[in-house]
Amino acid sequence: MIKPWEEYIKPHQVYGNVYFVGAKSGSTHMIVAENGSLILIDSGYPQTLYLLLENIRSLGFDPHNIKHIIHSHGHYDHLGATRALIELYQPKTYLGAGDLDYATGARDLTWATELGYKYLETFTPDVLLYDGDVITIEGIEFTFMSCPGHSEGATSCFFYADGDQGLKRCAMFGGAGLNSLTIPFLDKYGLPHSLRDDFMKSLNRADQEYVDIHLGNHISSNKMYEKLARREKEGGNPFIDENCWHDSLRQTKAAFEAMLRQDAGK
């Protein structure tokens, strides 16, 4: 379980109309459309909802303008606060089709149990995402890539942000954690071992994409703290880094291959 009062991270602009408004254990990114509508990518834990709303306000934006929530996947630390946001602001919600039963609570696969919680904040997504979907949201075109593995419906998203260095392609990978790919976890919940093969394919496929700005769905994924420190010390924008996306995926792949080798040696 997390201690919400220890989860605060100062919100900040990533690039142009893209901001980080999340917490230490659950990332949330916010995209500001030209009409002022707010688009969130992941909502984080319900326990840190108050931090999310305060972060949005502290940047000068109104949470009442939250119109859309895109989810990278259906785990508790990524969709836990969505139900409360629906009740407050009625945003449109998006989730990979493979994780529908996670969100609705039809299957206990949100990882809430493993995190020490009970998933009570169920909801039914308005839009189910499929591989290759291209959806324009408030004038911004999002391309979605199904990347199963970490969850069955993990979905990467790609879009362009406009800032002082022109248009930059941003992306978030659907889910890079290995915790849900262990044999004990897969067997406990009756999930196919083939998700491991799917995960490797997802990593390799996503690695073919060009990305200027990697938005980590956990702050370690894109080394957020390091980049903030570099920006404060050196100036510029370290978040613009065409290698970060590939480095993160390849590090995940190396760790996954090590896990597979360890399993094979048992």
What pLDDT score was predicted for residue 56? 99
The letter for the amino acid at 229 is A
Cβ atoms of residues 171 and 157 within 8 Å: yes
In the prediction, which pLDDT does 257 show? 96
pLDDT at residue number 266: 64
Tens digits of residue pLDDT in 80-109: 999 999 999 999 999 999 999 999 999 999
Taking only the tens place, the pLDDT of each residue in 147-193 is 999 999 999 999 999 999 999 999 999 999 999 999 999 999 999 99
Q: What is the pLDDT of residue 236?
A: 94
DSSP three-state, residue 21: coil
What is the Rg, in whole angstroms, of the alpha carbon atoms belonging to the chain?
A: 17
* CATH code matching the domain that covers 4-264, chosen among 3.10.129.10, 3.30.460.80, 3.60.15.10, 3.20.20.370: 3.60.15.10
Mean pLDDT of the chain: 97
Confidence (pLDDT) at 265:
82
* Confidence band for 264, pLDDT divided at 50, 70 and 90: confident
- pLDDT band of residue 197 (cuts 50, 70, 90) is very high
Assess whether pLDDT exceeds 80 at residue 204.
yes
DSSP code, position 165: T
Q: Which residues contact 54 (CB under 8 A, 6 or more apart)?
A: none
Task: Give me the pLDDT at residue 251, please.
Answer: 96
Q: How far apart are CA 178 and CA 54, in angstroms?
A: 31
Which pLDDT belongs to residue 213? 98
131: left (phi over 0), alpha (psi -120 to 50) or beta: beta
pLDDT tens track for 210-263: 999 999 999 999 999 999 999 999 999 999 999 999 999 999 999 999 999 999
In the predicted structure, residue 34 carries a pLDDT above the cut 90: yes
DSSP letter assigned to residue 149: S
* Sequence ranges of the domains in the chain: 4-264
Whether residue 77 contacts residue 46, with contact meaning beta carbons closer than 8 Å, is answered with no
CA 100/CA 94 separation, integer angstroms: 10
**pLDDT over 90 at 117, yes or no:** yes
Place of tokens 């970490």: 150
Q: In percent, how much of the chain has pLDDT > 90? A: 99
Expressed in percent and rounded to 5, the helix, strand and coil fractions of the chain are: 35, 20, 40
